């Protein structure tokens, strides 16, 4: 029997890059699925389930640099959203069986169930080197070879997440309004663990909509895509920062910078992984962080704003932290809630609470 074909489907998969490079591997996940998307890589050794369900990876083809993915399967309560957000998956090897007591399904079966195509058996190290050299690029994952004369599709689905307005039923001492640009579940859980009431609103909300909820603080969430695509919300941020404590995470960090007159730029291949060292410029501490972003704040542009840079990525000096001197406003480019990743920065949620309480005392 020809194992390259099952049920009439070609079991080979073709990953065609925008620059013309082609990788041929074995189809897994949704065998018949084909997809176009932005090709990125993550260096995380663990946490593939959290990565796949992270809304910041929406419409992206994720390359896992770690050679063996799927060995501990998929477990309940680990997802960062209610579905797989990634468009497709690229791995060196995907395990067929899961070995973990909490596993309820294998990664391959989970991808099939979620209708997410994947490719295995390719040299992900070589692929990552190409992305590092040429930068993040579009790519196509197909069941048959793509005409090399044609570039990968320019089709881009809308990446602005529409979230429903919801509030918890039990009122707590503090009330945070979270503006959802593509929030990870563990950000909400990190606030709720601190006995905080969380109301989630969409970026279509006005200042008046948010003010009517009487928050003690505002959290600007992570999310996918170019921060300049959210320019309509920048005036809302400018008004919010006059009245409430604000904490920005990842995309929220970039939007806070834009709202105050700074600029952002697209990085060559971005930061995606759970081992990025960050230095706090105010106390000299260095800690390891989880990151997932393809855009960054222009450090030089901060000089023309009221903001102050508080942290830098150790390797490339990317702006990793900002604060507004004299106001209870700060932001970070990395993910303090992790999931996956180290918990070095989890204390930032406590810092946010302290700022909210200090503001309450002033008023």
Q: Is 334 annotated as a binding residue?
A: no
Q: Is 254 annotated as a binding residue?
A: yes
**Rounded Cα–Cα distance for residues 133 and 338 (Å):** 28
In the block, tokens 């109301």 appear at 199
**Rounded Cα–Cα distance for residues 220 and 25 (Å):** 40
Catalytic residue (one of 50, 313, 320, 337): 337
Write down how long the chain is.
Answer: 363
**Rounded Cα–Cα distance for residues 107 and 79 (Å):** 13
**Rounded Cα–Cα distance for residues 29 and 115 (Å):** 7
Q: Is 33 annotated as a binding residue?
A: no
Q: Is 294 annotated as a binding residue?
A: yes
Q: What are the DSSP calls for 123-176, one per residue?
A: -HHHHHHHHHHH-SEEEEEESSPPPTTSPPP------------EE-SS--SEEE
Q: Which long-range contacts (CB under 8 A, 24 or more apart) does 5-10 make?
A: 6/31, 9/143, 10/143, 10/144
Terminal Cα-to-Cα distance of the chain (whole angstroms): 77
Catalytic residue (one of 28, 250, 253, 293): 250
Q: Is 225 annotated as a binding residue?
A: yes
Q: Is 295 annotated as a binding residue?
A: yes
Catalytic residue (one of 253, 276, 293, 335): 335
Q: Is 56 annotated as a binding residue?
A: yes
Q: How far is CA 313 from CA 100, 101, 176, 179, 334, in A?
A: 34, 37, 28, 26, 9
Active site residue 271: no
Active site residue 28: no
Q: Is 292 annotated as a binding residue?
A: yes
- Residue numbers annotated as active site: 250, 335, 337
Q: Which residues are annotated as a binding site for L-glutamine?
A: 56, 223, 225, 251, 254, 292, 294-295
Q: Which residues are annotated as a binding site?
A: 56, 223, 225, 251, 254, 292, 294-295
């Amino acid at each position: 029997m020809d194992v390259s074909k099952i049920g009439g489907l070609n079991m080979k998969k073709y990953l065609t890059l925008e620059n013309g490079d082609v990788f041929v591997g074995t189809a897994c996940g949704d065998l018949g699925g084909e997809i176009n998307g932005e090709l990125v890589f993550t260096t995380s050794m663990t946490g593939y389930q959290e990565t796949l369900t992270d809304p910041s990876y929406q419409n992206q083809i994720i390359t896992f640099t770690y050679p063996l993915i799927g060995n501990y399967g998929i477990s309940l309560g680990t997802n960062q959203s209610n579905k797989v957000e990634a468009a497709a998956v690229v791995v060196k090897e995907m395990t067929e069986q899961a070995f973990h007591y909490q596993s309820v399904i294998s990664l391959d079966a989970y991808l099939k169930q979620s209708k997410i195509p994947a490719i295995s058996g390719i040299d992900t190290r070589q692929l990552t080197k190409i992305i590092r050299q040429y930068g993040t690029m579009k790519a196509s994952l197909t069941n048959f070879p793509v005409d090399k004369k044609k570039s990968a599709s320019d089709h881009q689905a809308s990446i602005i997440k529409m979230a429903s307005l919801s509030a918890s039923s039990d009122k707590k001492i503090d009330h945070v309004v979270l503006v959802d640009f593509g929030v990870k579940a563990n950000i909400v859980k990190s606030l709720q663990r601190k006995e905080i009431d969380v109301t989630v609103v969409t970026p279509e909300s006005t200042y008046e909509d948010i003010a009517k909820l009487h928050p003690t603080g505002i959290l600007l969430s992570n999310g996918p895509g170019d921060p300049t695509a959210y320019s309509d919300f920048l005036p809302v941020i400018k008004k919010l920062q006059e009245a409430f404590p604000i904490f920005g995470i990842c995309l929220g960090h970039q939007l806070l910078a834009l709202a105050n007159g700074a600029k952002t730029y697209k990085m060559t291949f971005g930061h995606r992984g759970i081992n990025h060292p960050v230095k706090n410029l105010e106390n000299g501490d260095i800690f390891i962080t989880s990151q997932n972003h393809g855009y960054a704040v222009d450090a030089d542009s901060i000089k023309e704003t009221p903001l102050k840079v508080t942290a830098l990525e150790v390797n490339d000096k990317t702006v990793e932290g900002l604060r507004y001197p004299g106001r209870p406003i700060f932001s970070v480019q990395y993910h303090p809630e992790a999931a996956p990743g180290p918990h070095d920065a989890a204390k930032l949620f406590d810092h946010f609470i302290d700022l909210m309480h200090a503001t309450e005392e002033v008023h």
